[in-house]
Amino acid sequence: MGNDIVSVKNLQVWFPIRRGFVESLLSDEQSYVKAVDGITFSIKQREIFCLVGESGCGKTTTGKAILRLVEPTGGDVAYFGPGKDELLKEVTDASNRKKTSARVYVADQEKWAEFVETYDMADIKKAKRVMGENAFAGILKRAKTKPDGNDLNMAGVKNDADRKALQPFVGKMIVDTRKAKATIGEQKLTEILERAGIKPQADDLNIASIKNADKKTLRPFVKKEFVDIGRAKDAMGEKALAGILKRAKTKPDGNDLNMAGVKNDADRKALKPFVRRVKSNWVLMSKIPKDRKEELLKAGGINVRTLSKHNMKAMRQKLQIIFQDPYESLNPKQSIYDIIAEPLVVNSIGANEAEREQKVTKALMDAGLRPPKNFMWRYPHEVSGGQRQRVGVAGALVLDPDFLVADEPVSMLDVSIRSEILKLMLDLRENRGLSFLFITHDLGVAYVFSDRIGIMYLGKIVELGPTEKVIKDPHHPYTKALISVVPTPDPKDRTEKIILKGERPDASKIPSGCRFHPRCPFMMDICRVEQPSPVFVSEGHWVSCHLHTKGSSAEKMGD
């Protein structure tokens, strides 16, 4: 397996809830169904990544948002796959013509650190609390913008006394090695590094672990430092920290508003106390020195989210989707040939009908409908369910894509033909080098079919990891429950089921703290209040659950 083909970062899809006239008079605030609320994952080339969850957890919305069949509200979707270079060139050329600078998506923030754009983000929660919901909503309205870790950026802490108090908890202190080199000389820096036994990352160096006088030498070159909030809280008490935070007018957890959208001067001023600077994955072409332009174009990806309509059409040839229900996703009044040839017509591919027919024939062959002549001129109702799903696959294949979103492709099919379709997709990966985002609610299918699994609950990924690890060693209570309810064919081989009470909550009224807490059998006090952040379990295996937050206040409260 190679590099990433698709990288999804902090993706959000919110659907506004329609309000009546009276409601709009009563409150300025628009509420949303947060179908997908900040999920991050990447899919490698030739990988099958599986999203599992109940209906309504946002898995289909995620799949569609990657293809922009629904427009994402926030976050980035980057494509690094084949054919990216040409498209990227087209995008940059187009912006050159318009005399604007093109933006290129980079996955490695650190490497391009000096070039990535930064945004000012205002803390919405805090701002609302301090200035009142209505005043804040007013700003949002005027700004015509929409709201888009556990570290506190010290840059926000201006008060000297506060800085001193927080100093012991600084966990990450990044030194600009080039600056340091220029001032103290390369040799001295190398000596210091050898003593400390650390290596700089690109041009940055974390000196938090250096304890002796060397730290003093390097201190002037520190460009950013972060405070470990957890440790600070433990050591100085929550109240003292809160005081500092209050004076610093910044807050650790993110629910951010991009300040670029706020144009009103008075509003900017009002929001200023809540602003923090956030690094993006964007690089502006105009800022890059000439000699590194080639490198950037090679390493950078296309951000699917910001492509123009014209470029998106080209992009969709690379990204395709197989829809859920083969009984409803095929037009009953079109022959199979017409259904499969439609994308060719739309994209003006193939000079004449004969050429198109050739492409359709190949797609049908690849989808296992052989001989193609027997199927091409039939209508969807004339073929069986499994064959219909193959028609859906052929339709997705005809444009020769590199990435497929497969949305519950086997859920509507009989058990006896399910594995045929799954095997077909495995063959396509072998022969065409396809990568898949596979969406299903059936963990059994996900287990035998995928390389990695992400378990979704109410718009968030709660557990993510290699398939074997997630299934054989699940950490999140929701994953455990899902695995336990998969029916087993052998009546003697039964384990006790964890049947969760009730159904998933309404996505427009997301529970506070951990979203799963109202149904969780292991609910603790902290789960009601604080959202868990991802915790490392083993290589590539992450879980978001307070039960596994080591050394945190959660563990103590759980005891």
Partner 1 sequence: MTLLEVKGLRTYFKTQEGTLKAVDGVDFEVEKGHAMGLAGESGCGKTTAALSIMKLLPANGYIAGGKINFMGQDMARVTGEKLRSIRWRDISIVFQGAMNALNPVKRVGDQISEPILLHEDVDDEVATKRVKELFELVGLSPNRIRDYPHEFSGGMRQRVMIAMALACKPKLVIADEPTTALDVMIQAQILQLMKSLQKELELAMIIISHDLSVLAETCETLCIMYAGKIVERADSVEVFRNPQHPYTKGLIEAFPNIKGDKTMPASIAGNPPNLIIAPKGCRFAERCYMAKEICDEKEPPLIEVRPNHYAACHFVKAG
Cα 128–131–136 angle (5° rounding)? 55
Place of tokens 């332009």: 293
Judged by CB under 8 A, the number of residues near partner 1 is 44
> Does 503 help bind partner 1 (rule: CB under 8 A)?
yes
Q: Does 547 bind partner 1 (CB under 8 A)?
A: no
406 binds partner 1 (CB under 8 A): no
382 binds partner 1 (CB under 8 A): no
Write out the DSSP string of 464-533: EEEHHHHHHS--SHHHHHHHHTS--S-TTS-------SS-PPPTTSPPSSSTTGGG-TT--HHHHH-PPP
Secondary structure in 3-state letters for 25-83: HHCCCCCEEEEEEEEEEEEECCCEEEEECCCCCCHHHHHHHHCCCCCCCEEEEEECCCC
Return the DSSP state at 546.
Answer: G
What minimum distance in Å lies between the beta carbon of 384 and partner 1? 6
505 belongs to the binding site for partner 1 (CB under 8 A): no
**380 by DSSP, 3-state: which?**
helix
User: Quick one: which of 420, 427, 530, 555 contacts partner 1 (CB under 8 A)?
Assistant: 420
Contact between 423 and partner 1 by CB under 8 A: the answer reads yes
Of 135 and 417, nearer to partner 1 (C-beta) is 417
Residues 28, 29, 54, 117: which binds partner 1 (CB under 8 A)? 54
Out of 334, 419, 531, 553, point to the residue binding partner 1 (CB under 8 A).
419
To which H or E segment does residue 387 belong? helix 385-397
- Secondary structure E strands in 352-497: 403-407, 435-440, 452-457, 460-466
Give just the sign of the alpha carbon dihedral 410, 413, 415, 417. negative
Question: Quick one: which segment of 5-13, 76-84, 136-144, 414-422 binds partner 1 (CB under 8 A)?
Answer: 414-422
**Continuous H helices in 211-304:** 214-218, 229-236, 238-248, 265-271, 290-299
Could you tell me which of 443, 448, 455, 449 has the C-alpha nearest to residue 428?
449
Amino acid of residue 169: F
Residue 19 CB, shortest distance to partner 1, in Å, is 20
263 or 497, CB closer to partner 1? 497
Pairing type for strands 275-284 and 302-303 reads unpaired
Residues 518-537 contacting partner 1, CB under 8 A: none
Amino acid making up residue 241:
L
Q: How far is CA 488 from CA 413, 494, 507, in A?
A: 18, 7, 31
How many Cβ atoms sit within 10 Å of the Cβ of residue 273? 16
Q: Which of residues 426-465 bind partner 1 (CB under 8 A)?
A: 426, 441-445, 447-449
Least distance between partner 1 and beta carbon 53 (Å): 9
**Amino acid identity of 44?**
K
Residue 490 engages partner 1 in binding (rule: CB under 8 A): yes
From the list 94-102, 188-196, 237-245, 415-423, the region that binds partner 1 by CB under 8 A is 415-423
Is residue 32 near partner 1 by the rule CB under 8 A?
A: no
Burial class (CB in 10 A: 0-12, 13-18, 19+), 255: middle
For residues 224 and 175, what is the distance between their CA atoms, to the nearest angstrom?
A: 7
345 binds partner 1 (CB under 8 A): no
By CB under 8 A, tell whether 55 contacts partner 1.
Answer: yes
Q: 143 vs 453, which CB is nearer to partner 1?
A: 453
Sole window of 84-92, 168-176, 293-301, 480-488 interacting with partner 1 (rule: CB under 8 A):
480-488
Which residue among 71, 353, 493, 559 contacts partner 1 (CB under 8 A)?
Answer: 493
Assess contact for 39 and 460: CB atoms under 8 A. yes
- Binding residues for partner 1 restricted to 263-292, rule: CB under 8 A: none
Nearer to partner 1, 266 or 499 (CB): 499
Compare residues 332 and 489 and give the one whose CB is closer to partner 1. 489
Q: Which stretch binds partner 1 (CB under 8 A): 24-32, 139-147, 218-226, 475-483?
A: 475-483
Nearer to partner 1, 54 or 555 (CB): 54
* Residue 122 or 425 with smaller CB distance to partner 1: 425
Q: CA-CA distance, 470 to 543, in Å (whole number)?
A: 10
Q: Is 369 in the site for partner 1 (CB under 8 A)?
A: no
Q: With binding defined as CB under 8 A, does residue 488 bind partner 1?
A: yes
Which residues form the interface with partner 1 (CB under 8 A)? 54-55, 384-386, 414-420, 422-423, 426, 441-445, 447-449, 467-468, 471, 481-483, 485-495, 497, 499-500, 503
